[in-house]
Chains A and B, each alone.
Chain A
């Protein structure tokens, strides 16, 4: 039984003369205690997709899906049930930890406020627990830091406080939306390690959203690759890095800058053209316009995922037929 199942997620925004679909039928599953990555470039729909789990949508967005969390239907939740769901089941951290805080309140009070509202603690219990939480995200001298204002903390430190708030209710799932994008590499490594430790201690699942395949490869067991509102490939991280099946995934992996390149400037092929803007692509594969292997039939591809291996699936039907036959031929 999976912790989270999202089926046929569609999110559309009003546009001239109708709606523009920016998430176009995404399926995603997260098991208890695992770390799943959602990787894609800007505009691929990855942030919106993960916000669907707590129905955190812009007011004019239209969302349809079947979202099951721990056997409960998120789409059918009443206002009160949804509030409970957001407070107790799912924690969320964002890229920019500064804009998530009230700049005029001490950070400890902001952690304690969450506890008082969500867990109904009294003032002194909330304070004591907040200090414990600050210590658990490895903030040194938590009693003193309790009194700090957000602007007095570094970016990495603020992200730690965000994590403290997100895990304060002991959630089953932590959604981390680009949690390290604004941080230095050294801090990035520390934050990823912290998330991993908290995940193990609290036995929660983590959904890590990032544009950086390096971060995903380091932190996740499974990954879904998004492009133009679709999941184009999904499977175990090691498998996808070693044997990417969708042409987009391969091109993306080959675009990643690497320390190994130091000293010899072999130009990377990269991906020509621009990522599609929301709703700019018609039916068929949204990557066809930039794909080195594009063919006329790409316009008719329905973008559903088909298995190509153990738990590994891709939306490109052309790569599938060929790799399956060549595997059979080699065996």
Chain B
């Protein structure tokens, strides 16, 4: 395994619950829910780490804490040895440039009033990316990277399909020049045939750009398609982490086992099935 790019130690987040009337009157502190509970993991350069778990397991909170969209309560996050939690101002911007996030819903994450080209260019210019002075070339470079034609630049998000929008969201993230891509349920809302295209795109981007990807998904089979390593989260804790083949084919933790057991069986594949089309 190559060098560690992102390192997380004992990361913890509590969410305060609403205080009951009794607690309010007696000025007792309210209860809190432990959303993420002392989570630690490393992500190496060019590695894809899958993060799986049921809803409410804390996987999205964890992903958001990495770029401080949610402020952690405890723990250490470092990128290339530099602390994310201590970063302020220019330094925080620089860290956010290096870690970009792609969300589930490309309908909500793109500005409907902005053309695709403008959105990509703006992202690049804000972070002074090299090449962003030459608008058209910059935009088509990133559209090409996500396998969209250069003519997409003049379209608005409303003219695009869900799969195309998600590619634009990836292109915009890439325009900022990140080293880590955090994909939070990035393919969950897409049709199966489009999902495959996006998964292949993530694999290509890792190969071409050496991106490290934290791939968050609730569907284990989707993670199995792309991840080198897998972390399984349950109730805010990583209950199992390891090589994808190891975790999926030889799970050690009880929760992982139950999760795998309730996964729909693979569609029975017949090796001999062949489609023959001739005259």
Tell me, yes or no, whether A binds B: yes
- Chain A positions within 8 Å of B, measured between CB atoms, are 41-42, 155, 184-190, 211-215, 217-218, 238, 241-245, 247, 250-253, 255-265, 267-272, 274-275, 277, 293, 318-319, 322-323, 326
Given contacts A245-B275, A259-B266, contact A270 B193 (CB under 8 A): yes
Given contacts A41-B191, A268-B200, A318-B277, contact A259 B267 (CB under 8 A): no
B259–A186 touching, CB < 8 Å:
yes
8 A Cβ contacts from B160-197 to A: 161-164, 191-197
User: What 4 additional pairs, Cβ within 8 angstroms, besides A241-B269, A275-B194?
Assistant: A260-B266, A262-B224, A265-B225, A270-B196
Interface-located stretch among B15-23, B76-84, B104-112, B215-223: B215-223
B193–A275 touching, CB < 8 Å:
yes
**Of the residues B195, B222, B268, contact of A242 by C-beta under 8 Å:** B268
Query: Hey, what's the 0/1 contact readout for B217-248 against A, CB within 8 Å counting as 1?
Result: 01111101111001000000000000111111
Chain B: minimal CB distance from A191 (Å) = 11
Number of interface residues of B (CB under 8 A): 50
Return chain B residues, CB-CB under 8 Å to A256.
192, 221, 266-267
Q: How far is the CA of A272 from the CA of B198 in the complex (A)?
A: 11
Given contacts A185-B259, A218-B265, contact A243 B247 (CB under 8 A): no
Return chain B residues, CB-CB under 8 Å to A251.
193
Return chain B residues, CB-CB under 8 Å to A261.
221, 224-225
Return chain A residues, CB-CB under 8 Å to B29.
none
Return chain A residues, CB-CB under 8 Å to B220.
185, 259
B192–A211 touching, CB < 8 Å:
yes
**Of the residues B191, B203, B221, B247, contact of A257 by C-beta under 8 Å:** B221
Q: How far is the CA of A242 from the CA of B268 in the complex (A)?
A: 7
Q: How far is the CA of A268 from the CA of B225 in the complex (A)?
A: 9
Chain B: minimal CB distance from A157 (Å) = 13
Q: Could you say which of A155, A218, A261 has the most chain B C-beta atoms within 10 Å of its C-beta? A: A261
Query: Hey, what's the 0/1 contact readout for B89-108 against A, CB within 8 Å counting as 1?
Result: 00000000000000000000
Which of chain B's residues has its CB closest to A265's CB? B203
Contact of B27 with A by CB under 8 A: no
Main secondary structure, interface of B, reads: helix
Q: Could you say which of B222, B245, B267, B273 has the most chain A C-beta atoms within 10 Å of its C-beta? A: B267
B278–A270 touching, CB < 8 Å:
no
Contact of B5 with A by CB under 8 A: no
Contact of B26 with A by CB under 8 A: no
A185–B264 touching, CB < 8 Å:
yes
Q: List 9 A-B contacts (CB under 8 A).
A: A41-B193, A185-B259, A214-B267, A217-B265, A243-B273, A259-B260, A263-B248, A265-B226, A326-B276
Chain B: minimal CB distance from A226 (Å) = 12
Chain B: minimal CB distance from A67 (Å) = 28
8 A Cβ contacts from B124-182 to A: 161-164
Which of chain B's residues has its CB closest to A244's CB? B273
Q: How far is the CA of A217 from the CA of B270 in the complex (A)?
A: 14
Given contacts A257-B225, A262-B249, A263-B243, contact A186 B277 (CB under 8 A): no
Chain A: minimal CB distance from B167 (Å) = 11
8 A Cβ contacts from B8-57 to A: 54-55
Contact of B258 with A by CB under 8 A: yes
**Of the residues B55, B196, B218, B221, contact of A271 by C-beta under 8 Å:** B196
Which of chain A's residues has its CB closest to B277's CB? A293
B163–A274 touching, CB < 8 Å:
yes
A184–B54 touching, CB < 8 Å:
yes
Return chain B residues, CB-CB under 8 Å to A269.
196
Q: How far is the CA of A189 from the CA of B200 in the complex (A)?
A: 28
A214–B195 touching, CB < 8 Å:
no
Q: How far is the CA of A244 from the CA of B270 in the complex (A)?
A: 10
Q: How far is the CA of A241 from the CA of B192 in the complex (A)?
A: 16
B161–A274 touching, CB < 8 Å:
yes
Which of chain A's residues has its CB closest to B248's CB? A262
**Of the residues A238, A258, A319, contact of B276 by C-beta under 8 Å:** A319
Chain B: minimal CB distance from A22 (Å) = 16
Return chain A residues, CB-CB under 8 Å to B195.
255, 257
Chain A: minimal CB distance from B248 (Å) = 4
**Of the residues B196, B224, B246, B266, contact of A255 by C-beta under 8 Å:** B196
Return chain A residues, CB-CB under 8 Å to B260.
259
A268–B196 touching, CB < 8 Å:
yes
Q: How far is the CA of A178 from the CA of B54 in the complex (A)?
A: 19
Which of chain A's residues has its CB closest to B260's CB? A259
Return chain B residues, CB-CB under 8 Å to A244.
273, 275
B219–A257 touching, CB < 8 Å:
yes
Contact of B262 with A by CB under 8 A: yes
